[in-house]
Amino acid sequence: MSRNFVSNSSESIRMFKNGLLESLSKVHYFVPLIVYVPVILFLGWISFSDAHMDLLSFIGWFAGGLFVWSFSEYVMHRYVFHFYPKSKIGKRIHFIFHGVHHDYPNDAKRLVMPLSASIPMASALYFLFLFLLPAGTIYAFFCGFLLGYLVYDMMHYALHHANFKSAFWKKLKKHHMLHHYSDSTKGYGVSSTIWDKVLGSDFMKKNDAG
């Protein structure tokens, strides 16, 4: 397959002429922690204080939120971020949302989702789940969903910049690096490889090729 341009430097390409838009397209990796950890703690507190949820129910809906995030992460990466439009404006939008990361994978300020994108997206999903879920369950569910997102963001940054010692993390990093440098049509899972295995987008092992 043809290879796209990939920069091995840590340079941060300018995407917008407007200074404000340019600044909104970048974020330090720790910013989502500052913003979303208090939200997660607040949602957890509300689950018990206002929704009067018992511990087992909380754990169940929290786990449900984690599960839905895991699947959403895979689906969005595979079918939204890797959808390649043919129009000029479509290509521009794709580059802004994900193409820039594949061209400049070592740009530390474009490894986690900027707040200008994550806050509107999280707000929209919150109200969608509020409409779909039984009354009083949204807080525990979204608590798990947001934690899943936060873990994904931090893991994505770490996979690009950390030197791991354990076999688990090395394997996960190899999986993501293959997505970037070998075949971007496979390996869509970032925080987990489970959905790639289940849905047939995992990388073929060498001993399976023969």
CA distance 164 to 145: 26
Does residue 207 register a pLDDT over 50?
no
Residue 1: band (very low, low, confident or very high) from pLDDT cuts 50, 70, 90: very low
| Percentage of the chain modeled with pLDDT above 90 | 59
Residue 100 token pair: 């820039």
Give me the residue spans of the domains in the chain: 29-164
Residue 14's contacts (CB-CB under 8 Å, 6 or more residues apart) are: 22
Q: Would you state the pLDDT for residue 85?
A: 83
Residue 34 C-beta-side C-alpha neighbours within 13 Å: 7
* Confidence at 99, pLDDT banded by 50, 70, 90: confident
Cα 72 from Cα 76, distance rounded (Å) = 6
Q: How far apart are CA 46 and CA 62, in angstroms?
A: 13
DSSP character at residue 134: P
Other CB atoms within 10 Å distance of the CB of residue 196? 19
Residue range 114-142, pLDDT digits in tens: 898 899 999 999 999 999 999 999 999 99
The rounded distance, in Å, linking the Cα atoms of 118 and 110 is 13
Q: What is the pLDDT, as a whole number, of residue 38?
A: 97
pLDDT of residue 44: 96
Please state, in angstroms and rounded to a whole number, the distance separating the CA atoms of residues 174 and 155.
13
Reported as a pLDDT band with limits 50, 70 and 90, residue 210 is very low
Q: Is 61 exposed, middle or buried (0-12, 13-18, 19+ CB in 10 A)?
A: buried
Q: What is the pLDDT of residue 40?
A: 97
- Pairwise CA distance, residues 45 & 172, whole Å: 33
Scanning the chain, the segments in alpha helix (DSSP H) are 19-24, 31-49, 55-75, 88-94, 100-103, 115-132, 138-161, 167-181, 194-198, 206-209
Among the residue ranges 11-25, 59-73, 156-170, the one predicted with the least confidence is: 11-25
Write the DSSP assignment of 24-60 as a string of letters.
HT---TTHHHHHHHHHHHHHHHHHHHTS---HHHHHH
